[in-house]
């Protein structure tokens, strides 16, 4: 694939090399020449006048956002200033709360803390900057024409990737990105230092497989939004990408192109029975591969990766579209499967025993609609529906246009179950009783319809909105945003809601959870100006179009 196709013509001289930087000093970076904000061709939908406003806005914000000492904080968000109609009163409140969550390193913003919850007696690690949590914050800042914090974050986490990572006496892969980091301010010595967690402090000691993928996706969003290719082209960013990719493209004993994962390696960071090949990770993996393909240089080192990515994408999309996809027809086919088939002619390739299909899925499956199931491995299909994986499948074009439309049809057909009174269920349905005991290890935080076990997470609103825009169904997003607006501010931006309908503020939910705030802002801004969604969605790559449709691969 042609790299220049994605980012328009290259005109690159590397203004900013990370190696020129003091290892722990971001301030120097900001003395470098300002970015040249320019929008690309793919933003054609915008009128010229809008573009020039955007340009002026971007430059204004460069001046106002980084006043010495950092906290300029309270400038009017460009998104609401630009409205011809009155912005929702929540928008200004949300911006204020988002800015309050900013984390500074040597006077420069480098991220946002997970939750600003003073009432909570237990901070745990919610005072840290989580890589995955920062993504919606980053998108909000990019959409508001404030890209510098995103650049700082990308560079800071890149430095952290370079650390030697150990858990007890075991050394982690070089490319691993942290789940989170914290800035420690020493007021006596006037120094700032950073501590990072790659899984060695995390509950359950699990490494975040999603962090590296989000990092790549964010680098592409930054590049797409600013038109500044120089950051992605620095040898340091190129190396960072390659290191992440070598972790997931290495050859081993795998018979599937999907990525084998431990439980709790993503947003769902506790035992929830998602070990194996979770959809959440496969969709992010696919998206990160496609983003890398657009950003990797075709030099000696990059070229080898490009070739491996192309092959993997091909196999991965085939596998996912064929074996993870389920709709009424497919479910009926699986229900009638024969088992114990041997050899290449097998229809039931993974030897899934029809008796293992849970009862709920027969009622849940509408005649119109479908989704990517949670997991597929030998004799195991996890039929649960997961929000993030399905939305990212749409945004990355892992889903074919037909599949994307079917996922949206499912949202409409099963609105009560998946959205209810608060968007959006993280997974459906909840697991209970004996199954809950076995699968979660009796986790009291993940009881039925709470937290990761069928809880409702407002942060997912931005992904749903982006998916709605991509599939041309903005009215679905509008409905979801209205629901969020009726509760979020009043309830002080909870991390998650509980219950079958998502009616109750989550049992142990933090308040002022940053990604709930940022997720709302991003959803609002995208709906207001759909061209924003371009930074987080990828068009279909025609070369990857499957020859086979829907369930035919099972019968060929
Ligand atoms: C919880 C969530 C995780 C999130 C973190 C910080 O651990 O499960 O997804 O990143 O909190 O908000």
Check whether 506 has a pLDDT greater than 60: yes
For the residues 341-349, what does the mean pLDDT come to?
89
CB burial of residue 161 (10 Å; 0-12, 13-18, 19+): buried
Residue 542 has what pLDDT?
A: 74
Check whether 458 has a pLDDT greater than 90: yes
Which helix (H) or strand (E) is 141 found in, with range? helix 131-143
The residue written with tokens 């980091």 in the block is: 181
Residue 118 has what pLDDT?
A: 66
pLDDT classification of 454: cutoffs 50, 70, 90: very high
- Do 378 and 350 contact (CB within 8 A), yes or no? yes
Residue 113 has what pLDDT?
A: 96
Residue 60 has what pLDDT?
A: 31
Residue 167 has what pLDDT?
A: 87
**DSSP annotation string for 411-429:** HHHTHHHHTTTSS-BSEES
Residue 205 has what pLDDT?
A: 86
pLDDT classification of 124: cutoffs 50, 70, 90: confident
- What ranges in 431-513 are assigned the alpha helix state H? 433-440, 461-470, 474-487
Q: Which range, 119-123, 196-200, 288-292, has the best average confidence (pLDDT)? A: 288-292
Residue 343 has what pLDDT?
A: 85
Residue 13 has what pLDDT?
A: 31
For the residues 96-100, what does the mean pLDDT come to?
97
In angstroms, rounded to a whole number, what is the distance separating the alpha carbons of residues 502 and 518?
20
114 CB near ligand 1 (under 6 Å) = yes
- Do 116 and 128 contact (CB within 8 A), yes or no? no
- Do 512 and 492 contact (CB within 8 A), yes or no? yes
C-alpha of residue 556 to centroid of ligand 1, in Å: 42
Please tell me which residue, 170 or 149, carries the higher pLDDT value. Answer: 149
Residue 122 has what pLDDT?
A: 67
End-to-end CA, the chain: 30
Residue 85 has what pLDDT?
A: 57
pLDDT classification of 543: cutoffs 50, 70, 90: low
- What ranges in 296-386 are assigned the alpha helix state H? 300-319, 328-335, 359-364
Number of Cβ within 10 Å of residue 49's Cβ equals 8
175: three-class secondary structure by DSSP: coil
In angstroms, rounded to a whole number, what is the distance separating the alpha carbons of residues 41 and 43?
5
231 CB near ligand 1 (under 6 Å) = no
267 CB near ligand 1 (under 6 Å) = yes
Task: Give pLDDT tens digits for 378-417.
Answer: 999 999 999 999 999 999 999 999 999 999 999 999 999 9
In angstroms, rounded to a whole number, what is the distance separating the alpha carbons of residues 129 and 112?
6
Residue 544 has what pLDDT?
A: 65
For the residues 484-513, what does the mean pLDDT come to?
97
In angstroms, rounded to a whole number, what is the distance separating the alpha carbons of residues 199 and 470?
34
Number of Cβ within 10 Å of residue 59's Cβ equals 14
C-alpha of residue 81 to centroid of ligand 1, in Å: 32
The residue written with tokens 């968007």 in the block is: 423
Check whether 224 has a pLDDT greater than 70: yes
102 CB near ligand 1 (under 6 Å) = no
487: three-class secondary structure by DSSP: helix
- Look at residues 469, 466, 433 and name the one whose alpha carbon lies nearest to residue 136: 466
Task: Give pLDDT tens digits for 356-382.
Answer: 999 999 999 999 999 999 999 999 999
130 CB near ligand 1 (under 6 Å) = yes
C-alpha of residue 286 to centroid of ligand 1, in Å: 22
C-alpha of residue 516 to centroid of ligand 1, in Å: 11
pLDDT classification of 545: cutoffs 50, 70, 90: low
Token pair recorded at residue 186: 């020493």
Low-confidence winner among 54-63, 137-146, 152-161 (lowest mean pLDDT): 54-63
Cis peptide, bond prior to residue 424, ω within 30 of zero = yes
Beta-bridged to residue 261, according to DSSP, are 276
For the residues 267-296, what does the mean pLDDT come to?
97
Please tell me which residue, 3 or 242, carries the higher pLDDT value. Answer: 242
Residue nearest to atom 3 of ligand 1 (CA): 267
370 φ, ψ (degrees, to nearest 5):
-170, 180
Task: Give pLDDT tens digits for 428-451.
Answer: 999 999 999 999 999 999 999 999
Nearest atom within ligand 1 for CA of residue 510: 12
pLDDT classification of 126: cutoffs 50, 70, 90: confident
Residue 125 has what pLDDT?
A: 80
In angstroms, rounded to a whole number, what is the distance separating the alpha carbons of residues 20 and 244?
23
Residue 50 has what pLDDT?
A: 32
C-alpha of residue 269 to centroid of ligand 1, in Å: 7
Token pair recorded at residue 183: 């800035």
Residue nearest to atom 9 of ligand 1 (CA): 267
In angstroms, rounded to a whole number, what is the distance separating the alpha carbons of residues 272 and 472?
33
pLDDT classification of 202: cutoffs 50, 70, 90: confident
Residue 119 has what pLDDT?
A: 63
130 φ, ψ (degrees, to nearest 5):
-90, 140
C-alpha of residue 109 to centroid of ligand 1, in Å: 21
Task: Give pLDDT tens digits for 63-92.
Answer: 233 222 333 333 445 544 444 457 899 999
Check whether 270 has a pLDDT greater than 90: yes
For the residues 189-202, what does the mean pLDDT come to?
91
Residue nearest to atom 12 of ligand 1 (CA): 114
The mean predicted confidence, pLDDT, of the chain is 85
> What pTM does this model have?
0.85
Residue percentage of the chain with pLDDT more than 90: 74
C-alpha of residue 8 to centroid of ligand 1, in Å: 36
Residue 23 has what pLDDT?
A: 35
Check whether 22 has a pLDDT greater than 60: no
For the residues 522-548, what does the mean pLDDT come to?
86
pLDDT classification of 344: cutoffs 50, 70, 90: confident
């Amino acid at each position: 694939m042609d790299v220049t196709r994605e980012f328009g013509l290259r005109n690159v001289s590397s203004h900013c090399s990370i190696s020129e930087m003091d290892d722990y000093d971001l301030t120097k970076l900001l003395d470098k020449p300002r970015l040249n904000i320019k929008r690309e061709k793919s933003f054609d939908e915008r009128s010229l006048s809008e573009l020039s406003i955007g340009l002026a806005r971007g430059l204004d914000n460069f001046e106002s956002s980084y006043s010495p000492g950092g906290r300029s904080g309270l400038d009017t968000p460009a998104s609401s200033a630009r409205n011809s109609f009155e912005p929702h009163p929540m928008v200004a409140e949300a911006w204020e709360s988002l800015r309050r969550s900013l984390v500074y390193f040597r006077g420069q913003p480098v991220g946002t803390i997970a939750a600003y919850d003073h009432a909570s007696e237990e901070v745990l690690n919610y005072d840290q900057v989580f890589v995955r949590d920062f993504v919606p914050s980053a998108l909000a800042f990019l959409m508001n024409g404030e890209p510098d914090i995103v650049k700082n974050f990308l560079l800071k986490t890149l430095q952290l990737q370079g650390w030697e990572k150990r858990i007890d006496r075991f050394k982690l892969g070089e490319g691993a990105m942290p789940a989170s980091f914290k800035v420690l301010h020493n007021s006596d010595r006037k120094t700032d230092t950073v501590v990072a967690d790659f899984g060695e402090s995390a509950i359950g000691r699990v490494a975040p497989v999603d962090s590296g993928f989000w990092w790549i996706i964010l680098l592409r969003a930054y590049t797409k939004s600013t038109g500044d290719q120089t950051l992605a082209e620095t040898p340091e960013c190129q190396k960072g990408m390659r290191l992440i990719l070598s972790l997931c493209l290495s050859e081993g004993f795998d018979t599937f192109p999907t990525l084998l994962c431990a439980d709790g390696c993503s947003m769902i960071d506790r035992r929830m029975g998602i070990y194996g090949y979770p959809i959440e990770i496969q969709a992010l993996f696919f998206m990160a591969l496609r983003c890398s393909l657009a950003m990797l240089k075709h030099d000696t080192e990059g070229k080898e990766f490009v070739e491996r990515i192309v092959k993997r994408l091909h196999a991965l999309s085939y596998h996912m579209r064929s074996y993870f996809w389920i709709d009424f027809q497919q479910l009926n086919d699986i229900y009638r499967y024969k088992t114990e088939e041997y050899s290449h002619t097998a229809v039931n390739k993974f030897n899934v025993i029809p008796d293992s299909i849970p009862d709920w899925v027969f009622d849940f499956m509408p005649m119109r609609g479908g989704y990517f199931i949670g997991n597929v491995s030998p004799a195991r299909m996890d039929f649960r529906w997961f929000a993030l994986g399905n939305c990212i499948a749409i945004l990355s074009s892992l889903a074919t246009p037909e599949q994307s439309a079917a996922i949206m049809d499912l949202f409409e057909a099963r609105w009560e179950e998946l959205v209810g009174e608060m968007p959006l269920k993280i997974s459906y349905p909840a697991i209970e009783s004996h199954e809950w005991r076995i699968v979660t290890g009796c986790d009291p935080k993940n009881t039925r319809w709470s937290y990761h076990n069928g809880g409702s997470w407002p942060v997912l609103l931005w992904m749903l909105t982006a998916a709605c825009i991509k599939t041309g169904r903005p009215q679905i997003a509008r409905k979801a945003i209205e629901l969020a607006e009726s509760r979020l501010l009043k309830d002080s931006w909870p991390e998650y809601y509980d219950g079958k309908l998502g009616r109750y503020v989550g049992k142990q939910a933090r308040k002022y959870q940053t990604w709930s705030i940022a997720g709302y802002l991003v959803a609002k801004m995208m709906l207001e100006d759909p061209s924003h969604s371009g930074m987080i969605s990828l068009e279909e790559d025609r070369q990857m179009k499957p020859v086979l449709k829907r369930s035919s691969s099972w019968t060929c």
